[in-house]
Structure 1
Amino acid sequence: MALEISPSGESEAIVLIKAAPQVGVRHGETVCCAAIDLYGNWLRLYPVSFRHLDEGKKFGRWDRIRFRWRMPKDDGRAESRRIDQNALTITGELKPVERERFLARSIVTSLDKERSEGRSLALLKAEITGFHVERKSDDEIKAQKAKFEALHAQPDLFNTRPLIPYTPAPYKFKYSYRTDDGRREGTCQDWEIEATFFKWSNTYGESKALENMQTRFGEEYPRKGMLLAMGTHSLHPDTWLINGIIRLDEVQQLTLL
């Protein structure tokens, strides 16, 4: 079912993408989120100030959410929606046994084809050829920290609950992969991968954490089956970013015909 062009509306969708927080001039600290609605249409949801949400509204991957939206004036990508996050509700969760069937119709193997048809979000089945960990430069780390520190130093006119300062990961986690279009490489922006790094670093130490991440994300996930949740850059529409990774045992058996 094709998306209906309307200036506003209300939708229910299953959340698939929750990328690591970013700081922007207009919206402050926000998270890139994307979901597939109950008709199989992709929706990009923003601005989501995720850490300001009430605990009962903090959704995760596979949650079914209901939200009001309107078409943005500053984003021409077909799937983009400005949402009223204060009116967002979690209405359920997609059960593990339902996930293969729900995702199957959205899986693609060519990003060039998706772009040529005007789409800016995609669920990509690719051959994973490598997982690489790259330490950010000291200047890059300082610049990222400075953005978040400057934001939290500003007077908060709308949210009175204090936030623990967000610390970006000091590493980039990259995938090399092959699609029908050829070889590609990109940094994985999934919030889960950053959260895993910090959790394991606190538990095992940084060196062991990186070793374990190589095993899980670089060996176990590709072997058992995974999908790349892709999105185009807002300023560079021909550039695809890895916004998230989705692990499914069944994905290796999916029929794409």
Structure 2
Amino acid sequence: MAFDLKGSLEHADDEAFILIKAAPRASETHGETVCIAAIDHNGCWVRLYPVSFRQLEDAQKFRRWDRIRYRWRKPVASADRRVESRRVDQGSIEIIGRLREKDRHAFINRSAVTSLRAELQAGRSLALLNCEVIEFWSERQNQNEMERQHNVYRIMRQQGDFLSQANLIPREVCPYVFKYRYRDDDGEHTGTCQDWETEATFLRRRSEFCSEQKALEWMVEKFGVEFPREGMALAMGTHRYRADQWLINGILRVNKNPQLSFL
């Protein structure tokens, strides 16, 4: 069933499978909140926010691939006009199942596209992009951004998170940002990878190798050579205030055999 509440304050019920978590953002009203990308039972992307894990009950703290039931309404149009955006009544969140591993590849492939321009023209702001990865590299973060992220991670570690079981919340701020240059049907693009797990992977490898340089070299080989060779896709979303700017919200590695796993 599809809903079009056109900014009304009325709530509707729906279900969706959780796929992507963007980086946390500070909110004076809601505390530390995150934006969730999910796919509903009709195969349509939805953007769920604001979700504050500080305020969720333990039984509500969903993980990737969990199927949840929730109540939502469209955000005020002046605040967010993106069609997939849903303002969640987080007290209504209920975990009702989990997508079986053998079904995940086909489930994701139904949503994959090869042109961000076509998605934008169709009025969509979330997409899973099958593309050619041309280059992957790192750039050192500036000090102000590192201090901001440090405060966010500290609070998130205190409140818990649906990825915490895998120790994916960094113990420290990653000193680098990671970028992709990629090509879809419309041409070449460059974007920063905002996937939380990518930064966490670098920090783990730096600790393992006891060398920042070796960790960076490993990241380039893994994310820039191996994953593109074996098959991968980029989870994309447009900027809230700049509708024509696509951001890399997450990375999926799509195997050539019928399996799919998150990086």
TM-score past 0.5 threshold: yes
Instruction: State how far apart, in whole Å, the 1-side matches of 2:112 and 2:63 are.
Output: 21
Task: Kindly provide the amino acid, as one letter, of the partner of residue 72 in structure 1.
Answer: P
* 8 Å Cα contact 2:178/2:193 also seen in 1: yes
Q: Deviations over 1:207-250 (max 9, x none)?
A: 23323322222222111111111100000000000011111204
* 8 Å Cα contact 1:100/1:251 also seen in 2: no
State yes or no: 1:170 paired with 2:189.
no
Instruction: State how far apart, in whole Å, the 1-side matches of 2:187 and 2:146 are.
Output: 32
Q: Deviations over 1:52-100 (max 9, x none)?
A: 5444433332222221111111211111001122332222222222112
State yes or no: 1:104 paired with 2:109.
yes
Instruction: State how far apart, in whole Å, the 1-side matches of 2:95 and 2:199 are.
Output: 24
Q: Could you tell me which residue of structure 1 aligns to residue 216 of structure 2?
A: 210
User: What 5-or-longer segments of structure 1 have no aligned partner?
Assistant: 153-160
Q: Could you tell me which residue of structure 2 aligns to residue 182 of structure 1?
A: 187
2:43 to 40, 43, 62: 40
Q: Could you tell me which residue of structure 1 aligns to residue 233 of structure 2?
A: 227
- SS, match of residue 34 in structure 1: strand
Task: Give the deviation of 1:201 after TM superposition.
Answer: 3.1
Identity %, equivalent residues:
52
**Aligned residue-pair number:** 242
Cα 1:77–1:179, aligned 2, differ >3 Å: closer, same or farther? same
* 8 Å Cα contact 1:225/1:251 also seen in 2: no
Task: Kindly provide the amino acid, as one letter, of the partner of residue 202 in structure 1.
Answer: S
CA-atom RMSD in angstroms: 2.7
2:90 to 82, 85, 89: 85
State yes or no: 1:10 paired with 2:13.
yes
Q: Deviations over 1:153-194 (max 9, x none)?
A: xxxxxxxx9448974422111111001111001011112112
* 8 Å Cα contact 2:3/2:12 also seen in 1: no
Q: Could you tell me which residue of structure 2 aligns to residue 157 of structure 1?
A: none
* 8 Å Cα contact 1:106/1:123 also seen in 2: yes
Instruction: State how far apart, in whole Å, the 2-side matches of 1:167 and 1:27 are.
Output: 23
Instruction: State how far apart, in whole Å, the 1-side matches of 2:20 and 2:223 are.
Output: 17
* 8 Å Cα contact 2:24/2:34 also seen in 1: yes
State yes or no: 1:249 paired with 2:255.
yes
Task: Give the deviation of 1:25 after TM superposition.
Answer: 5.0
Cα 1:135–1:90, aligned 2, differ >3 Å: closer, same or farther? same
* 8 Å Cα contact 2:177/2:199 also seen in 1: no
